[in-house]
Amino acid sequence: MATAPPSLQAKFEEELSCSICLELFTRPKMLPCQHTFCQDCLKDHAGRGGTFQCPKLNCCQQINLPNMGVADFPSNTTVANLCDTLRKRTTRKNEDHVHKVKCTSHPSEDINLYCIQCQVPVCTKCLGEGHKGHSTTNLEAASQERKVSAKMLITEARKIMETYNKYLQDLRNKETALNTQKQERNDKIDEALHKAVQQLTEAKDSLKSKEDQEHTKTIKVLQAQKNEVLTDFAEISSACMATMKGLEKGGVELLCTETTLHEVVTKCKEKSLPTPMSVPTVEFQPTDPETLTLGKLSSHKPSWLWKIIGTFWLLLKASVLAIWWLGFFAMGFTFLMVFINHNDKNTNGVILIVTLLVLSFSISLYSLVQKGKLRSSSLLLFAICHVFWLSWILSVKLGNGKYDEVLGIMAPVILSCIISIGFIWKNN
């Protein structure tokens, strides 16, 4: 029987483990620095003092203990739900006994047939209701037929899990870089403090507070991206494990779990990963102690030139999809113009043949992208194909002085371009 990749499973569990007790989180609490720990672990670490240092390695932020103690820190519900899911999955994995599955529509009946038309497991009573007259087969035969597709889905799911794992590793690296930068900045702040007079103590506290706020703001974005991917990862991992168990047992369990895995894999393929945030470069700039200030935190923001470049890049991405759709608009109007104008049958005949070839080529490649056999970036090839086709059509028509037909083709092209770019700009 196929098994889950141990490295992916271990890394996933590591993300959901407390760095103090090294076990899955229990009642996870989030500190102001965005690090999460078990409530009991935090209680033992914090003691009864008013402040304590974050237990996370390379994080030296001082945390003020709330009046009601550790329980007053906000709960990390996302992590808590993921841990519960992982615990339930582990429990199900340890259950080796085979049990009959009851019909959801008729709880007193066992599922013992498979509806070929609806592709769902059914019971005997279902045949007289929603599946009346449908062809059925026994569960074992249906299970054997679906094993191949289930194995293919498991392979595809593992590839998606590997992509998620790489993405999570990138987020972990960014978090480490942020914590390292924070520690280096704090060291410089402390060094500057030792050169200053006692009157700068309040300025130091104020400066560190601002630094912590900026750091927390950045980590929150990073944590949100991590939680989003972890949630999807948990869903597809759980579905994949259930399908692998179904492969071993066969029958209705395989049929149910394979359908669920197919839905999860399809959703993950359609959903793109969030754009990883860029780690800002923040430096501490010390000043002369005689000025009675420690310095200030400065963040290197993108210059106006980079903002312009980023805008053009966004427009380029929008244009690729826009050209793809406007190509179909233009093709439709070309067919219309060819049938309306019979004066130049030879030229129109050539245009008609080339248009059919380009349209067939584009639809074929687009279907390959939808089936996952080609990358989504292959749409760039389609866009280039449409651009060359449109340029050729316009050159032929302009060369023959058919200005009215050129306007007829370009009108939907321009409209489609504006709508597509506006839609993509709004969603980016």
Given a cut of 70, whether residue 428 has pLDDT beyond it is: no
Given a cut of 50, whether residue 426 has pLDDT beyond it is: no
Look at residue 37 in the predicted model and tell me its pLDDT.
Answer: 92
Look at residue 420 in the predicted model and tell me its pLDDT.
Answer: 47
Answer yes or no: are the C-beta atoms of 333 and 412 closer than 8 Å: yes
- Work out whether strand 113-115 and strand 62-64 pair parallel, antiparallel, or are unpaired: unpaired
Q: 328-362: buried (b, 16+ CB within 10 Å) or exposed (e) per residue?
A: ebbbebbeebbeeeeebeebbeebeeebeebbeeb
- pLDDT per residue as tens digits for the range 347-405: 556 666 666 666 666 666 656 655 555 555 555 565 666 666 666 666 666 666 665 55
Q: Name which residue leads in pLDDT, 306 or 157.
A: 157
Sorted by sequence, the CB contacts under 8 Å of residue 268 that are 6+ apart come out as 160, 232, 236
Most confident range (mean pLDDT) of 296-300, 347-351, 408-412 is: 296-300
Mean pLDDT of 111-130: 83
Q: What is the pTM of this model?
A: 0.41
Q: Does residue 117 sit in helix, strand or coil?
A: coil
- pLDDT per residue as tens digits for the range 316-352: 554 554 555 555 555 555 555 554 454 555 555 666 6
Q: Name which residue leads in pLDDT, 315 or 262.
A: 262
Mean pLDDT of 266-293: 74
Band of residue 97 on the pLDDT scale cut at 50, 70, 90:
very low
**CATH number 3.30.40.10 is the correct assignment for the domain at 6-97+135-291:** yes
Residues of the chain with CATH 3.30.40.10: 6-97+135-291
Sorted by sequence, the CB contacts under 8 Å of residue 321 that are 6+ apart come out as 379, 383, 420, 424
